[in-house]
């Protein structure tokens, strides 16, 4: 059942901003000042330097982890070890052999591409409203002076069903809605599978992990980055960490854009055919008592190519608490984060401006 009551699930709002896609259609040679970023110490590289071209995020083969019957094999334990190291040292990895069918990925990609190509009058019907950040627009815009990203996005809560905004869903193009439904189900399965393996690697009780994530909240952020006349001056998405448990990112186009901060350097994540990118969110860092890392990342833009991606955020159940796993704390002899309710946690997250989040995450807000 979808939700008719907006207030019940309203975790946040964002100021309404103009469409970047429409702006980019105007063959401009300079970007408006609101998109120009001077925070150069934060800026990633637009091309790979010698330093980072040798580094790449780990690739995990899920066939040997999730789809094998022999969890006693050395292949299984070596891949589990690889997953644990990736989550600990990178907070990011790509997954192959995830068993989401190529045809579903292709269909979903086609529908998302056409969605962003709809005429503006159609998209306007799905634009964010003042009281909610679901729909087309941007997120985390809290002041008229704030710099904006070179990106149009569509944000929607997809699971559980009772959190859905029925009005928004009913107005989605029917084929997109059908494919989104199938993709959302597959991503939930995948996220739960990976979380289950992480529980084993961390030594978290399997039942506790299931209680935390079985009926998790899932939302999707579809990103469209138009070509940008001054790519070195803009961000597609400003540096940030993700709030949820796990994020699963589908890079729809071959152009690069995602960059991950590793030991102070920005490392590009090259799209691999049929791979998905997975990253640890703040909640999973907290649940793991700080063992896994929710890492800063951003998206760059390009002068000639558009880029599209879909980030699916899978997080813990509503109504629960966000804190280190109970079964882990005795093993570590210390809880490195305090517990807050899920609602407190998310209301605080969406009320903050994105770059403030980087400064506060893990230190002021949640740590004890
Ligand atoms: O488009 C990308 O590669 C990154 C997107 C992202 O970080 C986000 O949507 O939160």
Per-residue pLDDT tens for 188-228? Answer: 999 999 999 999 999 999 999 999 999 999 999 999 999 99
Centroid of ligand 1 to alpha carbon of 301 (angstroms): 12
Confidence of residue 6 (pLDDT cuts 50, 70, 90): very low
The arithmetic mean of pLDDT across residues 69-75, rounded, is: 87
68/89: higher pLDDT: 89
Confidence of residue 2 (pLDDT cuts 50, 70, 90): very low
The whole-number pLDDT of residue 351 equals 59
Distance 74 CA to ligand 1 centre (A): 34
For residue 360, pLDDT over 50 is answered with no
Please determine, for residue 357, whether its predicted confidence score (pLDDT) is greater than 70: no
Rounded to an integer, the average pLDDT of 29-56 is: 71
C-alpha 77 – ligand 1 centre gap (Å):
31
The arithmetic mean of pLDDT across residues 245-249, rounded, is 98
Say if residue 363's pLDDT is above 90. Answer: no
| d(CA 330, ligand 1 centre) in Å | 35
The predicted structure's pLDDT at residue 366: 40
Atom of ligand 1 nearest to the CA of 236: 1
What pLDDT score does 3 carry? Answer: 45
Radius of gyration of the chain (CA): 20
Mean pLDDT of 243-257: 96
What would the mean pLDDT of 103-130 be, rounded to a whole number? 95
Tens digits of residue pLDDT in 146-195: 889 999 999 999 999 999 999 899 999 999 999 999 999 999 999 999 99
Asked if residues 237 and 151 have their Cβ atoms less than 8 Å apart, the reply is: yes
CA 237–ligand 1 middle distance (angstroms): 6
Is residue 257 lining ligand 1, measured as CB closer than 6 Å? Answer: yes
**At CA 212, angle to CA 206 and CA 214, rounded to 5?**
85
Counting atoms of ligand 1 from 1, which one is nearest the CA of 309?
1
Q: How far is the CA of 299 from the centre of ligand 1 (A)?
A: 6
Contact call for residues 283 and 244 (beta carbons, < 8 A): yes
To test the pocket of ligand 1, the residue of 137, 220, 223 to mutate (highest count of ligand atoms within 8 Å of its CB) is 223
What would the mean pLDDT of 49-56 be, rounded to a whole number?
65
Tokens 């990342």 sit on residue: 297
- Indicate whether residue 299 lines ligand 1 (CB < 6 A): yes
- Decide: 345 and 281 in contact? Cβ < 8 Å: no
Nearest to 217 by CA among 320, 122, 139, 133: 320
The first and second tokens of residue 7, run together, are 């207030």
Say if ligand 1 is within 6 A of residue 20 CB: no
**Ligand 1 atom closest to Cα of residue 277:** 3
DSSP string covering 296-349: -EEE---SS--EEEEEEEE-PPTTSEESS-TTTHHHHTS--B--EEHHHHHHHH
Give this prediction's pTM: 0.90
What integer pLDDT is reported at residue 157 of this predicted model? 95
Task: Output the CA torsion sign for 154, 259, 60, 263.
Answer: negative
Ligand 1, pocket-test mutation among 258, 312, 314, 355, most atoms within 8 A of CB: 258
Structure tokens at 158: 């997809």
- Say if CB 280 and CB 241 are below 8 A apart: no
State how beta strands 59-61 and 92-96 pair. Answer: parallel
């Amino acid at each position: 059942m979808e939700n008719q009551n907006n207030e019940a699930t309203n975790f946040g709002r964002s100021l309404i901003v103009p469409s970047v896609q429409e702006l980019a259609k105007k063959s401009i040679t300079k970007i408006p000042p609101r998109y120009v970023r001077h925070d150069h110490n934060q800026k990633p590289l637009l091309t790979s330097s010698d330093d980072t071209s040798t580094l790449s995020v780990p690739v995990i083969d899920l066939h040997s982890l999730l789809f094998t019957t022999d969890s006693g094999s050395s292949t299984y334990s070596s891949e589990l070890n690889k997953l644990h190291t990736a989550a600990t040292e990178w907070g990011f990895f790509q997954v192959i052999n995830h068993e989401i069918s190529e045809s579903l990925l292709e269909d979903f990609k086609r529908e998302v591409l056409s969605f962003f190509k709809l005429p503006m009058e159609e998209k306007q019907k799905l634009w964010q409203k003042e009281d909610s950040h679901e729909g087309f627009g941007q997120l985390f815009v809290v002041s008229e002076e704030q710099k904006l990203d070179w990106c149009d996005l569509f944000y929607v809560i997809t699971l559980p069903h009772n959190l859905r905004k029925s009005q928004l869903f009913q107005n989605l193009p029917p084929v997109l809605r059908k494919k989104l439904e199938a993709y959302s189900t597959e991503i939930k399965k995948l996220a739960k599978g990976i979380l289950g393996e992480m529980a084993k690697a961390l030594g978290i009780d399997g039942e506790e992990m299931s209680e935390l994530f079985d009926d998790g909240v899932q939302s999707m952020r579809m990103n469209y980055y138009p070509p940008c006349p001054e790519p070195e001056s803009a961000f597609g998405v400003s540096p940030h960490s993700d709030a949820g448990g796990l994020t699963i990112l589908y890079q729809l186009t071959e152009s690069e854009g995602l960059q991950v901060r590793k030991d102070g350097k920005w490392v590009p994540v090259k799209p691999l055919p049929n791979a998905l990118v997975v990253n640890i969110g703040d909640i999973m860092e907290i649940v793991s008592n700080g063992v896994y890392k929710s890492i800063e990342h951003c998206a760059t833009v390009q002068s000639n190519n558009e880029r599209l991606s879909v980030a699916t955020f899978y997080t813990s159940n509503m109504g629960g608490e966000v804190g280190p796993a109970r079964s882990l704390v005795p093993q570590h002899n210390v809880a490195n984060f305090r517990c807050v309710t899920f609602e407190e946690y998310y209301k605080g997250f969406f009320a903050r401006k994105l770059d403030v989040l980087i400064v506060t995450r893990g230190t002021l807000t949640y740590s004890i």
